[in-house]
A and B are shown apart, each in its own frame.
Chain A
Amino acid sequence: GENVEQHPSTLSVQEGDSAVIKCTYSDSASNYFPWYKQELGKGPQLIIDIRSNVGEKKDQRIAVTLNKTAKHFSLHITETQPEDSAVYFCAAMAIGFKTIFGAGTRLFVKA
């Protein structure tokens, strides 16, 4: 069946450094790739997304890249801050169909 692999499972960075989380998807029909941030005691919150007709998208300190040929997509956080500490989930879907999530990356940003 369809699956999304996410790496690393845990990531620890120093405040101000960059963090990169990588995902690989299996379903070639996937055309929408959202990223979610889950803080303690809360549900996942959409932070950025990218569609298959775009290779890169940026929103302030967050950027996503997509390589459709390789079925890879990545989340890049620059100038990390302690409040970026959370669990991040990547996901892939064919629009109109169910969302397949990765297993999550726990990001620690050390002050």
Chain B
Amino acid sequence: EAGVTQFPSHSVIEKGQTVTLRCDPISGHDNLYWYRRVMGKEIKFLLHFVKESKQDESGMPNNRFLAERTGGTYSTLKVQPAELEDSGVYFCASSRDRGALSGTFGSGTRLTVV
């Protein structure tokens, strides 16, 4: 089966601009997670979708971040306006079961805000 696909793989934008990251989960996986790793730090949970519903968005940093999963398939994470501290690697993972027990991660999007 195809894995979790994320694009773009890299994005460099200026402070104040908008960026949209996309994640295509493994087909049939209802659970989709977004994570972020800031340089050298831990991978931090951002939010969890079950199909198109936000199950847990407690990790979203602030209201500049907006995640959607219309139709319960792919998901987008938009940052508007981007700030310097938003730089990092954004990972998406999907799983059939809740809790990512068998979660598969995408390769990530490296976002650099300059």
Contact = CB atoms under 8 A, between A and B. Distances in A.
A95 B95 CA distance: 13
Contact of A43 (B56, B98, B106): B106
A28 B101 CA distance: 18
B99 A97 contact: yes
A32 B40 contact: no
Q: How large, as a class, is the contact surface on chain A?
A: 20 to 34
B42 A96 contact: no
Q: How large, as a class, is the contact surface on chain B?
A: 20 to 34
A96 B98 contact: yes
B100 interface: yes
Interface in B54-68: 56, 58-59
A96 B105 CA distance: 18
Given A43-B4, A44-B91, A103-B41, A95 B101 contact: yes
A97 B58 CA distance: 11
A101 B44 contact: yes
A98 B107 contact: no
A6 B99 CA distance: 21
Nearest to A4: B42
Interface of A: 4, 6, 9, 32, 34, 36, 41-46, 49, 89, 91, 93, 95-104
